[in-house]
Structure 1
């Protein structure tokens, strides 16, 4: 009995690894197939940075303009913005794109783990994130004279990975909603900027009015960016760093589980009604 159970478990793990490899391979092939997407991101990133920085700098005391920590907050805000966007656009709308292209039916006819099917997007986003970090580091040094240093590299890497895993789960939940709503671009834009503002992506939430912070503390991304800034800049955290890291880990696992169940539920309903490929 133990041998059979061990074999069954090892077989499931092997299949899961193969599914993850296939998903990552497909996502990377698609990513490099369209180099203009990469070039477009590289060109638009500094424009977004300037567009966000200028209005905020205008309301800061002039003495803060020479404070390198202000620019480092913007730097890590831009990096984390990509993680938030990953949930809403790269993963959430990936399901919608599969539906529009007519490929979601064969995907859902397989017995592959529904989360793993779209997990390849996380691999691509990880590559994109590394490119952005290198590129933005150069921009900060060249245009603002600010050097980007990292206080705790291992903790930063862990924080970013857990944040991306949470985005994978959140993206799956959102993707299941998109299957029902069909078109949710406006909702994605609204959610994106609400999260950016209330979660303190570009500035600590302690800078917000006290009555607004209640909403900030209810957003999981608040603690993700908080632990990332702590690891990168050594800034003060909302909670004890160890507790905050544990919270991010638990939230990542919860979002992955709920996202998986949401996809399964929506898939079952769509198969019953015959609307799985309808767009």
Structure 2
């Protein structure tokens, strides 16, 4: 099984390294190889593969029915528009953006169980790239599922994105991905050292759907619970994305959300780098990378 999904040599991926951009081409080749490997692995389990996309469509159907059942937009939603679009944006983006928090550690743990981590690290690839790159396909697939859900929401259930400011939305999504992927790297470092998934992973879904405003504005929460909401980057991401996609706000008009997300990035990026370096140093010292 490991041979079937092995990462091929960079030269086979179709990018001939040049004297100017050889390193970038090699990195891109390896990234494409890891994405291809992830796709082949995922698609070999056909029911799960199809279920991922079918499940995304079912989410959209559920939110359309929920919005129809509720009827008039609840308090705090009217400023954005209709409730279905409000739910669609919140759910679609929060499930994608939270991928980085959960799937680095989950995919790394899965590869450790399969025994494919050590062969990857033994190649001419940096250990950090080999260990984290196994999740590349998960992030790509997340984009595909997100686009499918948005397409079904717009073309089938008439979600209103007529005023959407896509450049601002993409910028906010990137800022959020950086923060949450940094958290995901910290989770992956936990797996490298302790060989078990980050015990806080279960907390991600709970906080995202209750405290980050997926179903309702966080202003409806009691004041003492809003403290939790405003300590989470996803809260600012969802509010900013809804403003950009439903109200057409520019990045400047969402400046507060962007600045807070940048602050999370500046905090989590160095923390994640330090944590993963420690994890790699620990496995080199103990020789425990292949243990599980």
TM class, shorter-chain normalised?
0.7 to 0.9
Query: Of 50, 66, 89, which residue of structure 2 is paired with 1:39?
Result: 50
| TM-score (normalizing by structure 1) | 0.77
| TM-score (normalizing by structure 2) | 0.74
Report what 1:222 is aligned to: 235
In structure 1, what is the Cα distance between the partners aligned to 2:113 and 2:244?
Answer: 40
Post-superposition CA distance 1:72-126 (Å, at most 9, x none): 1211122223324412443221221222222323444556272575257456524
- Please say if residues 96 and 182 of structure 1, whose CA atoms lie closer than 8 Å, have aligned partners that are also in contact: yes
SS class of match (2:261): helix
Which one scores higher on RCO, CA 8 angstroms, separation ≥ 6?
1
Q: Residue 191 in 1 paired to residue 204 in 2?
A: yes
SS class of match (2:72): helix
Query: Of 253, 267, 278, which residue of structure 1 is paired with 2:280?
Result: 267
- Please say if residues 28 and 124 of structure 1, whose CA atoms lie closer than 8 Å, have aligned partners that are also in contact: no
Report what 2:30 is aligned to: 22
- Please say if residues 87 and 215 of structure 2, whose CA atoms lie closer than 8 Å, have aligned partners that are also in contact: yes
Q: CA deviation at 1:199?
A: 1.9
- Total equivalences in the alignment: 266
* Bigger proportion of residues as helix: 1
In structure 1, what is the Cα distance between the partners aligned to 2:142 and 2:36?
Answer: 11
Post-superposition CA distance 1:150-187 (Å, at most 9, x none): 52111112222222222321111111123344333875
Summarize the Cα distance change of 1:147–1:141 in structure 2 as closer, same or farther, 3 Å threshold. Answer: farther
Summarize the Cα distance change of 1:222–1:113 in structure 2 as closer, same or farther, 3 Å threshold. Answer: farther
